[in-house]
C-alpha cells in the first residue's frame, strides 16, 4: 500500500500522526505500508519548488509498480494530482482520506487555488475512489456535497493509551496549590484560535485564576509575531511560553505536566492533539466544530465551547480552578480514550478495506485478461 502525502514532517500535524498510528496499529504481516511525501519539511514555499513534485512522481510510480493500491491523504496539492496520475497510468485503484480539507472553514484559506484544484482533480479523486475515509459523521455529510455517490467509510483513529492516566490533572491531586498549566499543542495558525485562548487567559487571570499557558508548535512567521505582540500587550510574558515544535520525548513530558488542554479551532475533522490529551488523562477544552466534541460532551471529560468565542473560553478556564474538577474530568478523559481510541481497531478497519479494494481490483484484472478480443 502506497500512502501519498504532502510531507512526512511531524510538524505538519494530524495526518502525519494518523499515519504513525496506522503503522503501529496494522498488525497484519501480509500488508506492507510505505509513505511518499513531496516535501521533506512543512514549508510555506513548497508550491514553488517544482523539482520536488517531479521527483515525487517518479518515486510514487516506482512504488506503485509493485503495490496493490494507492491511499491519498487530502484533496489538494501536488501529491494528490501526481499520485493519482501515476495510479491511473498503472491501473491501480485508490482510496482517499479527507483530513478535514473540505470543511467550509478550511476552504476559506487560499480559496481560489482550492477551487481550481477541486474543479481540476479534487472532485474526480473523490468520485473515482474505491472508498473515502472520514473520522466523524459531520465530515461524512461534507463529502456527500462533493461526491454524492462516494463509498464513505468512517474510521476512528487510534492512539497508544497508557494503562493509567499520567497527567498533572490526576497525579498532582493533594499537592500544594500552584498555577494551572494550560497546554496548547499544534500548528500555529489563526484557524486554531490560539489568539482567542491568550485573550481568554488574560481575562481569567484578571478574575483571579492562577494559570499559565504553554504553547508547543510552529507556524507562519507573521502569526507567531502577532501572538508574541498580543502576549506582550496583555502583560502575559511571564505566563505564556512558546516552545516551538517539540519531539516525542518533550511531548510526553508536557502531557504529564498539563492540567488542561485547549483546542479552540474554528474546525477540526478529528482533533488528534485533543485525543492525545484524553489518553494522558488531561481534561480538554474544544470548540463545537472539533470532531471529538460530541465524545467530550458525552463523557463529561471537558468543556465544549462555541467557536470564535473568547468569553466562552474564559468561562471554561475558570471552571478548572477547582482541582477536584480537573481530577475527575481527567479520569473520565482517560476512560473515554481507552474505549474509543484503539490502535488495533484502526489497523483492522484499514486492513479489511485494503484487502477488499485490492481483491476487487485483482478480480477485475483477471476478467480483463480472460476476455476475448473484440472483432
Fold match, 2-158+342-370 / 168-340:
yes
Q: How far apart are CA 187 and CA 173, in angstroms?
A: 31
pLDDT tens digit string along 308-338?
999 999 999 999 999 999 999 999 999 999 9
Q: For domain 2-158+342-370, give the fold.
A: Rossmann fold (3.40.50)
Q: How far apart are CA 96 and CA 87, in angstroms?
A: 13
Strand runs labelled E in 40-79: 70-73
Using DSSP bridges, classify how beta strands 2-7 and 34-39 pair: parallel, antiparallel or unpaired: parallel
pLDDT of 348 > 50? The answer is yes
Average pLDDT over residues 169-185: 80
Angle in degrees, CA 125, 41, 161, rounded to 5? 80
Measured N-to-C along each axis, helices 14-25 and 272-280 cross at an angle, to the nearest 10 degrees, of 60
As beta bridge partners, residue 259 has none
By percentage, how much of the chain surpasses pLDDT 70? 93
Q: For domain 168-340, give the fold.
A: Rossmann fold (3.40.50)
Distances (CA, A) of 281 to 168, 258, 302, 330, 366: 8, 9, 11, 4, 51
Q: How far apart are CA 76 and CA 101, in angstroms?
A: 8
Strand runs labelled E in the chain: 2-7, 34-39, 70-73, 94-97, 131-134, 152-154, 180-185, 211-216, 240-244, 260-263, 284-287, 302-305
Q: How far apart are CA 291 and CA 279, in angstroms?
A: 16
pLDDT of 33 > 70? The answer is yes
Q: How far apart are CA 1 and CA 334, in angstroms?
A: 33
pLDDT of 181 > 60? The answer is yes
Give the per-residue pLDDT at 170: 80
pLDDT of 371 > 60? The answer is no
Ranges of each domain in the chain: 2-158+342-370, 168-340
Q: Which residues contact 115 (CB under 8 A, 6 or more apart)?
A: none
Q: How far apart are CA 29 and CA 41, in angstroms?
A: 30
pLDDT of 375 > 70? The answer is no
Res. 165 pLDDT band, cuts 50 70 90? confident
Strand runs labelled E in 191-236: 211-216
Give the per-residue pLDDT at 362: 60
Q: What is the DSSP letter of 190?
A: G
Give the per-residue pLDDT at 2: 95
pLDDT tens digit string along 232-281?
999 999 999 999 999 889 999 999 999 999 999 998 889 999 999 999 99
The 3-state DSSP class for residue 351 equals helix
pLDDT tens digit string along 295-304?
999 999 999 9
Angle in degrees, CA 94, 95, 97, rounded to 5? 145
Amino acid at each position: 500500500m502506497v500512502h501519498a502525502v504532502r510531507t512526512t514532517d511531524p510538524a505538519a500535524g494530524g495526518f502525519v500522526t494518523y499515519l504513525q498510528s496506522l503503522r503501529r496499529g496494522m498488525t497484519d504481516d501480509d500488508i506492507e505500508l510505505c509513505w511518499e511525501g513531496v516535501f521533506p519539511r512543512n514549508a510555506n514555499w513548497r508550491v514553488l519548488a517544482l523539482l520536488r513534485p517531479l521527483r515525487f512522481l517518479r518515486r510514487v510510480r516506482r512504488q506503485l509498480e509493485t503495490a496493490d493500491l494507492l491511499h491519498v491523504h487530502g484533496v489538494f496539492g501536488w501529491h494528490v494530482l501526481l499520485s493519482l496520475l501515476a495510479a491511473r497510468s498503472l491501473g491501480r485503484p485508490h482510496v482517499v482520506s479527507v483530513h478535514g480539507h473540505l470543511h467550509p472553514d478550511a476552504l476559506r484559506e487560499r480559496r481560489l487555488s482550492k477551487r481550481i484544484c477541486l474543479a481540476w482533480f479534487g472532485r474526480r479523486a473523490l468520485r473515482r475512489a474505491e472508498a473515502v475515509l472520514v473520522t466523524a459523521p459531520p465530515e461524512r455529510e461534507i463529502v456527500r456535497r462533493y461526491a454524492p455517490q462516494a463509498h464513505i467509510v468512517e474510521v476512528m483513529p487510534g492512539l497508544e493509551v497508557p494503562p493509567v492516566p499520567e497527567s498533572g490533572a490526576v497525579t498532582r491531586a493533594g499537592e500544594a496549590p500552584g498555577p494551572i498549566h494550560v497546554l496548547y499543542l499544534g500548528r500555529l495558525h489563526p484557524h486554531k484560535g490560539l489568539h482567542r485562548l491568550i485573550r481568554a487567559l488574560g481575562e481569567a487571570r484578571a478574575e483571579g485564576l492562577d494559570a499559565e499557558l504553554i504553547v508547543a508548535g510552529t507556524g507562519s512567521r507573521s502569526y507567531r509575531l502577532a501572538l508574541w505582540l498580543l502576549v506582550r500587550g496583555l502583560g502575559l510574558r511571564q505566563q505564556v511560553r512558546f516552545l516551538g515544535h517539540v519531539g516525542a520525548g518533550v511531548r510526553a513530558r508536557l502531557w504529564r505536566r498539563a492540567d488542561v488542554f485547549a483546542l479552540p479551532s474554528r474546525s477540526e475533522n478529528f482533533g488528534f492533539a485533543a485525543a492525545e490529551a484524553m489518553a494522558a488523562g488531561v481534561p480538554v477544552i474544544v470548540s463545537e466544530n472539533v470532531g471529538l466534541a460530541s465524545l467530550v460532551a458525552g463523557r463529561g471529560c471537558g468543556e465544549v465551547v462555541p467557536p470564535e468565542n473568547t468569553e466562552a473560553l474564559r468561562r471554561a478556564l475558570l471552571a478548572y480552578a477547582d482541582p477536584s474538577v480537573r481530577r475527575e474530568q481527567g479520569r473520565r478523559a482517560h476512560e473515554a480514550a481507552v474505549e474509543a481510541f484503539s490502535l488495533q481497531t484502526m489497523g483492522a478497519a484499514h486492513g479489511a478495506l485494503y484487502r477488499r479494494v485490492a481483491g476487487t481490483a485483482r478480480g477485475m484484472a483477471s476478467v480483463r485478461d480472460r476476455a476475448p478480443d473484440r472483432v
